[in-house]
Chains A and B, each alone.
Chain A
């Protein structure tokens, strides 16, 4: 009986902590969360509909056949990306997007570029194993 009470108690404590943490995060999201332009919103949906993340990563998460695209917008510029998407290469299909969709996708890539820097080289390891961003 006492054993049961202890178990239920530990379980309930953890559950409450988890729910508290979860709802705290929902309420206090990490970045300034203004509304985005309809174009960026559309671009994000296109990114998902074409499953770009099957081959590409954002902040290092996604598929591994192609490069990380978090900061491709500032690294390559919109003309390069546009050309790349239209032509494709042997490992990446060509995407035949309308002008409007192309603009939206580019706006989204610009938007994620502005959210931060995903280059692992900018992190400095700390003695206790943590990292800080340069």
Chain B
């Protein structure tokens, strides 16, 4: 299958390269931010924390989005056995995104903010993103052609592509005074959209990963099985209705909170299934252990398990009042975007590169080093954030709160661990990224 699409649309790989480059800069911004937790004056004049946070978060969000788009575009061709409907459309799509990303970074550096969490750039810059995404949607639909008899991953891609557009537009409803005049109303709709946006890119990534696993195992039964569709619908149900777990403390409609609490708990089914299948997935792991791409998938499995437990716990309102507004939320956000999204994307990028006439790197030496360093560091990083969160939760709930500043200075030792493990995490990932980016092409004939 690999050679079949060598001559298809290699341009889609540019999305992956750009994504990897964004991840590399994002890591550096993250390190600067972590250092500013400890040394507030560090780079304060040039890149103060109000610039660094959006630079870091946007780099990472665009790493995920670019890489997810690149994987979907590539795998569509493999799935259909045809070229994309239009390579030119994909190029224009890429152009819109590149323009948006460069403009967004410049606006942050010049302190021109739109100031909405996660999309902190001026609203104008959402326009190229929306246009680029519409081209993606068109190209996707015309390349797939039909929904008849499609495996689950095509449905997941469709869901991701459609819902990202819908929820991204929804996150700009605040431009209308009716939605922004009251802070509670504004935040309700804002977090409704954010909750689902993350679910949307997860659909693109998980869908691609199912395609990838089918390919590795050579078994296409799973992606057409009722259980695969049941899990997909469970995910879709959560994407649509669980977002209220972000706003339990907001004085919004109480039915939103009840619905979200109930819907979030359905994820226990997923957790149960993972535990139930643990043994058999272990034997699959052993079977494909020699495949480097598979190693990253195996790591993602462990991170899914750990983060799912954390997420379900945080979704219980009586626990959420402790964890909300603390670094436990950051542990959840980075735990999932790094441990799950980034690991899966790296696995697939590895696979795609290996299939596009580049030399396959065995899972040895520096790749192995980078992989283990990143995963072990991530564990320490994640635990440090959870501990910081627990300590802040204790402070938040204490009757006689000491001043915020002195609470934060007591947390310094843990911020040091956060920065230290963040540094080794970054070294690990940068090693992996540099290997992927400098992979030598095989001789032209392959």
Is A bound to B?
Answer: yes
Identify the A interface with B (CB < 8 A): 3-4, 7-8, 10-11, 14, 17-18, 21-22, 25-26, 29-36, 41, 44, 47-55, 57-68, 89-91, 93, 111-112, 115-118, 120-121, 123, 125-126, 129-131, 133
Select one of A18, A93, A117, A118 contacting B44, CB under 8 A: A93
Chain A CB within 8 A of B48 CB? yes
Query: Contact partner of B181 among A11, A30, A34, CB < 8 A?
Result: A34
A63 surroundings in chain B (CB, below 8 A): 49, 53, 117
* Cβ contact within 8 Å between B325 and A120: yes
A22 and B188 CA atoms in complex are apart in Å by 11
Residue B277 interfacial (CB < 8 Å): no
What residues of chain A lie closer than 8 Å to B330, measured between beta carbons?
64
Contact B324 A120 (CB under 8 A): yes
**A26, A64, A123 pick with most chain B CB within 10 angstroms:** A64
- Contact assessment for A91 and B233 in the assembled complex, using a CB-CB cutoff below 8 Å: no
What's the interface size class on B, roughly?
Answer: 35 or more
A125, chain B: closest CB distance, angstroms: 4
Q: Which of B96-104, B170-178, B344-352 contacts A (4 or more CB under 8 A)?
A: B170-178
B117 touching A62 by the CB < 8 A rule? yes
Closest to B396 in A: A120
Q: Which residues of A contact B115 (CB under 8 A)?
A: 47-53
- A24 vs chain B, min Cβ distance (A): 10
Interchain CB contact under 8 A, A22 and B170: yes
A25 to B173, CA, bound (A): 12
In the complex, what distance in Å separates the CA atom of A120 from the CA atom of B329? 15
A78 to chain B, nearest CB (A): 18
Helix, strand, loop or mixed for chain A's interface? mixed
Task: Using A59-B187, A120-B322, A125-B318 as known contacts, say yes or no to A14 and B237 having CB atoms under 8 A apart.
Answer: yes
What residues on A are CB-neighbors of B320 within 8 Å? 131
B252 within 8 A of A: yes
Which of these binds chain A: B13-21, B135-143, B243-251, B300-308? B243-251
A60 touches B324 (CB 8 A): yes
In the bound complex, residues from chain B placing their C-beta under 8 Å from that of A22 are 170, 192
Determine whether the beta carbon of B114 is less than 8 Å from that of A48.
yes
B37 CB contacts on chain A under 8 angstroms: 65
Across chains A and B, which 9 residue pairs bring their CB atoms closest together, nearest first? Answer: A48-B115, A60-B325, A125-B318, A116-B251, A29-B185, A30-B252, A54-B50, A51-B113, A18-B240
- A54–B318 touching, CB < 8 Å: no
- Say yes or no for B133: interface residue by CB 8 A criterion: no
**What 8 additional pairs, Cβ within 8 angstroms, besides A14-B233, A18-B240?**
A17-B240, A30-B256, A34-B182, A64-B329, A89-B405, A115-B184, A120-B396, A130-B317
Residues of A within 8 A of B147 (CB): 4, 8
Which of B53, B114, B183, B192 sits near A112, CB closer than 8 Å?
B183
Report chain B residues within 8 Å CB of A52. 115
Give Cα distance in the complex from A117 to B183, angstroms.
12
Residue among B189, B257, B397 making CB contact with A120, cutoff 8 Å = B397
Is A58's CB under 8 angstroms from B187's CB?
yes
Residues from chain B with a CB closer than 8 A to the CB of A125 are: 317-318, 321
Which chain B residues border A62 with CB–CB below 8 Å?
117
Contact of A129 among B114, B185, B316, B327 (CB under 8 A): B316
Q: Does B258 contact A (CB under 8 A)?
A: yes
